Amino acid sequence: MISDLVSKVVVHPHELAIRLSVAALCKACTIDPANRQNSISPTAPVRLTRTGLALRLIQRDGRPVTQGQPDPGLIALLRKARNWWQQLQTGTINIATIAHEEKVNDSWISHIVRLNFLAPTIVEAILAGTQPASVSATSLRTASLPIDWDEQIVMFGM
């Protein structure tokens, strides 16, 4: 039914336009199509943003248009941070040992472990797949995270 209604989707640099067939819409709603225009084109303000190799469509509020799909890479990063933090809490292992086992430097481990202290709002958004485009694996790995959760939320534009 949707494929009958949508005659064209156009992605502009700052806008998404969907051209709907009035005849198909009238038929679906059992309305007489007489004396009506051929199409309706609702629009939504959006922008294209490059994230790694992918090009994503972003809404005005910074959230991806295709929200609701959790990013497996972000979730894996949070899991790794949680696992390393739990190991460090036992006191039987240190950052240098984890770095040696993972074949990375100590600094990288420290950056990842800090993700355990992300604001719950940010973690919930990541798990739900509703985080803004500013929350990516790269931004989380490289950010100088403030301790204050409210500052983190502002930092990522949430």
Q: pLDDT for 16-67, tens place per residue?
A: 788 887 777 777 777 776 666 677 777 777 776 766 666 666 666 666 665 5
The two beta strands, 15-21 and 54-59, are unpaired
* 91 and 22 housed in the same domain: no
Q: Given this model, what pLDDT does residue 57 score?
A: 66
C-alpha dist (Å) from residue 58 to 40, 41, 132, 149: 23, 19, 8, 24
Instruction: Give domain status of residue 67, yes or no.
Output: no
| Domain containing residue 15 | 2-59
Average pLDDT score over residue span 126-132: 83
User: Is 8 among the domain residues?
Assistant: yes
43, 15 in Cβ contact below 8 A?
yes
Query: 23 and 81: one domain?
Result: no
pLDDT exceeds cutoff 80 at 5: no
76 and 130 inside one domain: yes
CB 136 within 8 A of CB 125: no
Q: How far apart are CA 115 and CA 101, in angstroms?
A: 20
Residue 26: per-residue pLDDT: 76
Predicted local confidence at residue 61, as pLDDT: 64
Asked if the model's pLDDT at residue 112 lies above 80, the reply is: yes
Map residue 74 onto helix, strand or coil: helix
Average pLDDT, the chain: 81
Among the ranges given (39-48, 85-94, 143-152), the one the predictor scored with the smallest mean pLDDT: 39-48
Domains of the chain: total: 2
How far is residue 129's CA from residue 67's CA, in Å, rounded to a whole number?
6
Q: Do 94 and 49 share a structural domain?
A: no
Note whether residue 35 is domain-resident. Answer: yes
In a shared domain, residues 80 and 113: yes
Averaged over 107-114, what is the pLDDT? 89
Residues 112, 81 contacting (CB under 8 angstroms)? yes
Q: What is the pLDDT of residue 21?
A: 79
Output 62 or 96, whichever has higher pLDDT.
96
77 and 144 part of one domain: yes
